[in-house]
Amino acid sequence: MGLQPNVVNSAFLIGDPARAAMLVALLDGRARPAGELAHAAGVTAQTASSHLAKLLLGGLVTVETEGRHRYYRLGGPHVALALESLASIASREPVRRKVPAPEAQRLRFARCCYDHLAGRLGVAVACGLQDRGFLTPAADKRFEVTPAGAAWFETLGLDMARIKSSRRDLARQCLDWTERQHHVAGPLGVQFTALLCTKGWIRRAPSSRIVEVTREGWKNFKQELGIDEWALRAERPSI
């Protein structure tokens, strides 16, 4: 009986159609801004803000601040499991997604964000660096460079001793606004992106933030970080 209030409260929060739509939109594990969740639920920004405040208080979502923006994600895997279990009771209708324009697709795939690599490629690089044990997530939205990582960056051509740490440390986790996952920012992210340009792995477009990967770049991304071009291009668009 002692658990009943928690069950009732969670059921009440999930039971509202607008809040349920917001939670379902977060099932892919990515963080999303309130405006996007309002659109998914078909409600106004003010109404969405009220719903999100209730979901936050109920522990069904968490919030992350990136600059002036706030991004929401599910409160944990247990919330996703509960939603998926409930969704399995009834058949789900197919979801229709709007296909972005070609220029927007290129921007989302690979771009520069304040001089560090972002987009789907930037997130893949961050994941590759972690999978190889070169970076590890740390507190306060930081990445720590492991000894193996420092050696790898040095071999690639970065002088780690000369890269000065900022107030937010050598490398930090920057939430990607299209992928809703983290890419590598901070002094390391900036210098690493510059090195990739110098080595000819990537090219920056002259009049936009779009980044193009060269054939040599794809070869090296696959060899060094396990990033396969066609597998990455085949991934489902985030929005």
Residue 146: what residue type? T
pLDDT band at 110 (very low <50, low <70, confident <90, very high): very high
- Domain end among 55, 87, 119: 87
Note whether residue 126 is domain-resident.
yes
* Alpha carbon distances (Å) from 60 to 84, 140, 190: 14, 22, 35
Per-residue confidence (pLDDT) for residue 232, from 0 to 100: 95
- Domain end among 37, 59, 87: 87
pLDDT band at 219 (very low <50, low <70, confident <90, very high): very high
Note whether residue 166 is domain-resident.
yes
Note whether residue 42 is domain-resident.
yes
Question: What residues have CB less than 8 Å from 59, skipping those under 6 apart?
Answer: 75, 79
Count how many domains the chain has: 2
Q: Are residue 227 and residue 109 in the same domain, yes or no?
A: yes
Q: How many CA atoms lie within 13 A of 143 on its CB side?
A: 27
Q: Cα separation of 222 and 163, whole Å?
A: 26
Structure-token match 């690493």, residue found = 192
Comparing CA positions, the residue from 228, 229, 126 lying closest to residue 180 is 126
Length of the chain: 239
Q: Are residue 106 and residue 162 in the same domain, yes or no?
A: yes
pTM (predicted TM-score): 0.67
Q: Are residue 177 and residue 209 in the same domain, yes or no?
A: yes
Q: Are residue 225 and residue 111 in the same domain, yes or no?
A: yes
Q: Cα separation of 71 and 44, whole Å?
A: 17
Per-residue confidence (pLDDT) for residue 8, from 0 to 100: 85
Burial profile 181-216: b = 16 or more Cβ within 10 angstroms, e = fewer: bbbbbbbbbbbbbeebeeeebbebeeeeebbebeee
Per-residue confidence (pLDDT) for residue 230, from 0 to 100: 95
Residue 2: what residue type? G
Question: Do residues 217 and 125 make contact, with C-beta atoms less than 8 angstroms apart?
Answer: no
Per-residue confidence (pLDDT) for residue 122, from 0 to 100: 96
Mean pLDDT computed over 122-127: 97
Radius of gyration, CA atoms only, the chain:
20
pLDDT in tens, 142-194: 999 999 999 999 999 999 988 876 555 899 998 887 888 899 999 999 999 99
Q: What is the mean pLDDT of the chain?
A: 87
Which percentage of the chain shows pLDDT scores above 90?
54
Residue 35: what residue type? G
Per-residue confidence (pLDDT) for residue 7, from 0 to 100: 81
Q: Are residue 78 and residue 113 in the same domain, yes or no?
A: no
Q: Are residue 228 and residue 112 in the same domain, yes or no?
A: yes
Neighbouring C-beta atoms of residue 95, cutoff 10 Å: 8
Question: Do residues 41 and 26 make contact, with C-beta atoms less than 8 angstroms apart?
Answer: no
By residue range, what is the domain housing residue 27? 4-87
- Is residue 1 predicted with pLDDT exceeding 50? no
Structure-token match 């990445």, residue found = 143
Note whether residue 44 is domain-resident.
yes
